[in-house]
Amino acid sequence: MFDFLRGRLEDKETDHIVVEAQGVGYKISIPLSTYEKLPSPGGEVKIYTWISASMYGKGNTLYGFLTLEEREVFLILRSISKIGAKGALEILSKISKSFPDFRRAVIARDTQVLTGIFSLTKKTAEKLIIGLKDKIEVLSFAGKERFAARNEQEIADAISGLVALGYKVFQAKEAVNSVCETIDKDAQAEEIIKQALKYL
């Protein structure tokens, strides 16, 4: 099994890429976090890989990641009962905005952060807390927590306020998350809503 591919990026979509290496084109499924950091087609890339063999004879699926950290998290997520490789990739796309914050939320059993910051369903958040409780504490991630110092209730209130104004839940969460990257950590819901409206 090969550990990574280095080659020319021929095509990229939000869920997969095609990399040409030594005359062979490899179609690789990727998380959104990898897509956002890729160069334009024609550039050279190094993709860390993992192969999933189909149980029903439908062939293998090649998964790819820009960092070893992303691949490690993917494999841990995949190990949780009933998550699977596809589900793990979808979750990874959501939590990659801050692995340190995700780790803290799982350890603290904080479903509010997992649903509010990372846009996971409550059912998925609870499944991750149970499935990762004995695995995630030993992991260390690069970077600092970005959302830990914030008042999660203010964030939840801001999202609820935007939904009350007529925005979809996913739109509200994306806008609030964008605001939280730059706004003062002690900002109240009203200020968060005001700034979030600039993204909507």
CATH assignment of the domain containing 167: 1.10.8
Q: 190 is in which domain, residue-wise?
A: 152-199
Percent of the chain whose pLDDT exceeds 90: 48
User: Does some domain include residue 127?
Assistant: yes
For the residues 153-174, what does the mean pLDDT come to?
A: 88
0.85 exceeded by pTM: no
From 52, 67, 82, give the residue that closes a domain.
67
Greater confidence, 46 or 32?
A: 46
For residue 155, the model assigns a pLDDT of 82
In CATH, what number is assigned to the domain containing residue 37? 2.40.50.140
Amino acid of residue 20: E
Q: Is residue 18 part of a domain?
A: yes
Determine, yes or no, domain membership for 146: no
Give me the pLDDT at residue 65, please.
Answer: 96
In a domain, 138, yes or no: no
Same domain, 78 and 63: no
For residue 117, is pLDDT > 60? Answer: yes
Separation of alpha carbons 197 and 87, rounded Å:
31
Q: What tokens does 184 get?
A: 């003062």
Q: Are 178 and 199 in contact (CB under 8 A)?
A: yes
pLDDT reading at 55 higher than 80? no
> Per-residue pLDDT for 149 more than 60?
no
Could you tell me which of 189, 191, 184, 199 has the C-alpha nearest to residue 161?
189
Task: Name the domain count of the chain.
Answer: 3
Average pLDDT over residues 180-192: 82
Q: What is the pLDDT of residues 12-31, one digit of tens each?
A: 999 999 999 999 999 999 99
Q: Using CA atoms, how far apart are residues 41 and 20, in angstroms rounded to an integer?
A: 11
Q: How confident is the model at residue 64 (pLDDT cuts 50, 70, 90)?
A: very high
Give the strand pairing for 24-29 and 4-12. unpaired
The domain that holds 97 is classified in CATH as: 1.10.150
Question: Residue 5 has which token pair?
Answer: 């591919």
Residue 142 lies in a domain: no
> Which pLDDT score, from 0 to 100, does residue 145 have?
72
Instruction: Read off the pLDDT of residues 93-105 as tens digits, 9 standing for 90 and up.
Output: 999 888 888 988 8
Six-digit token string for 129: 């807390």
Indicate whether 158 belongs to any domain.
Answer: yes
> Is pLDDT at 4 greater than 90 in this prediction?
yes
